[in-house]
């Protein structure tokens, strides 16, 4: 069988991240056993290490959503074509990438059913029945599911997959203000979880009208910068205003007896973040997993020969059991592979800490502890091992975040003129931040001429806009915008 001979996961990583990012990325996610291709193009298999990252993120987000009053629900994966067509911008945005069910068994369906590319239309058609009075609001739901967008000619695992998992929050409020408050709270949750769990920084900002979500009044995103100098959109929130509530008749009678339309938000965080995590933190040895999302946080590799095997393994087993009380520790005691081979494997898989235990370590009541992120080695007295390992796990997360933030900051350029913007875009050097007049014409011209689009308009960069002129047309600037080549 062909698959057996060329199975890739035993090969090491040969491509270099700095010189061939794209090949390095693919080798890293596949050969480390993180994910795998399947026979459905663009749809990947999440193996246990990657699924663990996702379920950890899910728990962290879910707990925070519930903390601000959002409940989980679940709606069908199929959407009748007529519903998908109800909101004009929305259907135009999604129709080209919808997978259509036309038959069940041997029968042709009367009406085609779309596999959800996103669930607005099936959810709003359903909840319209649940909302009649101001007493029924707010209605704040979230759904965990996978969605399908058959959009990519060249899918990239995790970063651009045709099927991906996400949360999709769908909420309805009586007032604009409540909706706004929720969007701010959710953006904060997204940013906190990215930092705390994935050690990922990002740029928080508003999308332009041409880059916003299909059907929204306004969209807000967290944008990442990948090491190759390209940006990629992370989690987002959307202000729907009354756009969908009018299309789906999500109305209510207010306290004064007047009929009004609900204000709606949506928000999503997807498995694309796993791709950003790999791209930002990984190195030429493979994955580097942030400790909170690593299925194995510390691997214990005993180093023994035939004559001291029993003694070393007994100590390793004792130490591993002790560590397992507070962290996710794994003892790799197989004698089918050499310690050196094991070091390479666990490094490729991104395990944050390796603990080497040889007779020399044990004779001094010590262990050799190696950080995956920096490669730094230290001898730690066994009596202090659990405390030191816990400290190191925190330090690794902070270190990863710090280096990623530094990369983002040093690759964000406040450009003086259009030439500088062009030069940054052409050399794919990072993000060019510049004042912009707000016109779609300028945005479009810049994109056509440089390949860089407006990723978003950073919230924290809008303060000092007074007197600034648009980088392209020279008219009064209305926004500070981030321009970058983008996934």
Member of 86, 120, 158, 163 binding a second copy (CB under 8 A): 163
As measured in angstroms, the least distance from the Cβ of 330 to a second copy is 12
Member of 257, 306, 336, 448 binding a second copy (CB under 8 A): 336
d(CA 52, CA 271): 11
Where in 5-44 is the site for a second copy (CB under 8 A)?
Answer: 7, 9, 33, 36, 38-40, 43-44
* Under rule CB under 8 A, residue 483 binds a second copy: no
d(CA 398, CA 313): 33
Q: Which stretch binds a second copy (CB under 8 A): 145-153, 228-236, 369-377, 388-396?
A: 145-153
Member of 63, 72, 326, 428 binding a second copy (CB under 8 A): 72
Residue 37-56 contact track with a second copy, rule CB under 8 A, x = bound: -xxx--xxxxxx--xx-xx-
d(CA 120, CA 128): 12
Task: Choose among 354, 372, 348: nearest CA to 30.
Answer: 348
Q: Per the omega criterion (within 30 degrees of 0), is the bond before 138 cis?
A: yes
* Under rule CB under 8 A, residue 152 binds a second copy: no
* Under rule CB under 8 A, residue 321 binds a second copy: no
Member of 14, 16, 68, 100 binding a second copy (CB under 8 A): 100
Give all strands of the β-sheet with 453-458 in edge-to-edge order. 71-72, 139-148, 163-173, 263-270, 231-241, 218-225, 203-206, 453-458, 479-484, 431-436, 412-414
d(CA 100, CA 93): 16
Nearer CB in complex with a second copy: 165/353: 165
Residue 282 in tokens: 């990984």
Nearer CB in complex with a second copy: 255/466: 255
Nearer CB in complex with a second copy: 129/466: 129
429: helix, strand or coil? coil
Nearer CB in complex with a second copy: 112/411: 112
Member of 135, 384, 387, 444 binding a second copy (CB under 8 A): 135
Residue 353-392 contact track with a second copy, rule CB under 8 A, x = bound: ----------------------------------------
d(CA 159, CA 53): 15
The size of the interface with a second copy (CB under 8 A), counted in residues, is 67
Are 364 and 352 in contact by the 8 Å Cβ rule? The answer is no
Residue 61 in tokens: 């987000």
Are 280 and 408 in contact by the 8 Å Cβ rule? The answer is no
Where in 286-315 is the site for a second copy (CB under 8 A)?
Answer: 295
* Under rule CB under 8 A, residue 408 binds a second copy: no
* Under rule CB under 8 A, residue 125 binds a second copy: yes
As measured in angstroms, the least distance from the Cβ of 82 to a second copy is 9
* Under rule CB under 8 A, residue 257 binds a second copy: no
* Under rule CB under 8 A, residue 4 binds a second copy: yes
List all residues 6 or more positions away from 84 whose beta carbon is below 8 Å from its beta carbon: 90, 91, 94, 95, 98, 114, 121
Q: Which stretch binds a second copy (CB under 8 A): 84-92, 106-114, 225-233, 372-380?
A: 106-114
Q: What is the full DSSP assignment across 319-363?
A: HHHHHTTTS-EEE---SSS-HHHHHHHHHHTT-SEEEEE-HHHHH
> Distances from the Cα of 405 to the Cαs of 199, 200, 400, in angstroms?
9, 8, 9
DSSP 97: G
Member of 21, 64, 91, 99 binding a second copy (CB under 8 A): 99
d(CA 125, CA 273): 30
Member of 13, 57, 141, 446 binding a second copy (CB under 8 A): 141
Q: Which residues bind a second copy (CB under 8 A)?
A: 1, 3-4, 7, 9, 33, 36, 38-40, 43-48, 51-52, 54-55, 71-80, 83, 95-106, 112-113, 115, 122-123, 125-126, 128-130, 132, 135, 141, 145-146, 148, 150, 163, 165, 249, 251, 295, 334, 336
């Amino acid at each position: 069988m062909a698959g057996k001979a060329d199975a890739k996961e035993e090969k090491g990583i040969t491509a270099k991240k700095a010189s061939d990012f794209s090949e390095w990325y693919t080798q890293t996610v596949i050969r480390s056993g993180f994910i795998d291709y399947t026979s459905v193009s663009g749809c990947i298999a999440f193996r246990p290490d990657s699924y663990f990252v996702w379920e950890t993120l899910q728990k962290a987000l879910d707990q925070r959503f519930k903390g601000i009053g959002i409940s989980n629900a679940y709606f069908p994966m199929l959407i009748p074509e007529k519903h998908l067509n109800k909101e004009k911008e929305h259907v135009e945005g999604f129709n080209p990438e919808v997978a259509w069910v036309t038959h069940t068994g041997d029968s042709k369906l009367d009406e085609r059913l779309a596999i959800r590319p996103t669930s607005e239309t099936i959810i709003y058609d359903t909840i319209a029945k649940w909302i009649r009075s101001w007493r029924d609001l707010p209605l704040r739901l979230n759904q965990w599911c996978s969605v399908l967008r058959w959009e990519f000619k060249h899918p990239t695992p995790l970063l651009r997959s045709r099927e991906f998992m996400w949360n999709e929050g769908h909420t309805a409020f009586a007032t604009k203000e409540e909706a706004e408050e929720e969007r701010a709270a959710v953006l904060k949750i997204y940013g906190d979880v990215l930092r705390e769990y994935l050690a990922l920084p990002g740029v928080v900002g508003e999308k332009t009208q041409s880059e916003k979500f299909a059907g929204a009044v306004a969209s807000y995103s967290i944008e990442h910068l990948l090491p190759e100098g390209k940006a990629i959109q992370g989690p987002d929130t959307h202000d729907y205003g009354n756009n969908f509530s009018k299309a789906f008749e999500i109305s209510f009678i207010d306290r004064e007896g007047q009929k009004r339309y609900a204000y709606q938000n949506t928000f999503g965080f997807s498995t694309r973040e796993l791709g950003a995590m790999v791209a930002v933190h990984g190195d030429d040895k493979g994955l580097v997993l942030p400790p909170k999302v690593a299925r194995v946080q510390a691997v214990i590799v005993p180093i023994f020969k035939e004559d001291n095997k029993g003694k070393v393994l007994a100590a390793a087993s004792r130490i591993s059991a002790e560590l397992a009380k507070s962290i996710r520790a794994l003892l790799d005691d197989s004698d089918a592979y050499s310690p050196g081979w094991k070091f390479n494997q666990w490094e490729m898989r991104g395990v944050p800490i390796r603990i080497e235990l040889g007779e020399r370590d044990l004779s001094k009541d010590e262990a050799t502890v190696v950080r995956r992120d920096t490669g730094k080695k230290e001898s730690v007295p066994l009596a202090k091992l659990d405390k030191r390992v816990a400290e190191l796990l925190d330090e690794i997360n902070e270190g990863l975040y710090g280096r990623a933030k530094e990369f983002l900051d040093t690759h964000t350029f406040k450009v003086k003129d259009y030439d500088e913007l062009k030069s940054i875009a052409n050399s794919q050097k990072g993000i060019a931040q510049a004042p912009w007049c707000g016109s779609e014409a300028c945005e479009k011209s810049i994109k056509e001429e440089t390949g860089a689009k407006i990723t978003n308009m950073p919230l924290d960069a809008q303060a000092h806009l007074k007197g600034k002129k648009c980088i392209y047309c020279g008219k009064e600037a209305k926004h500070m915008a981030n321009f970058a080549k983008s996934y």
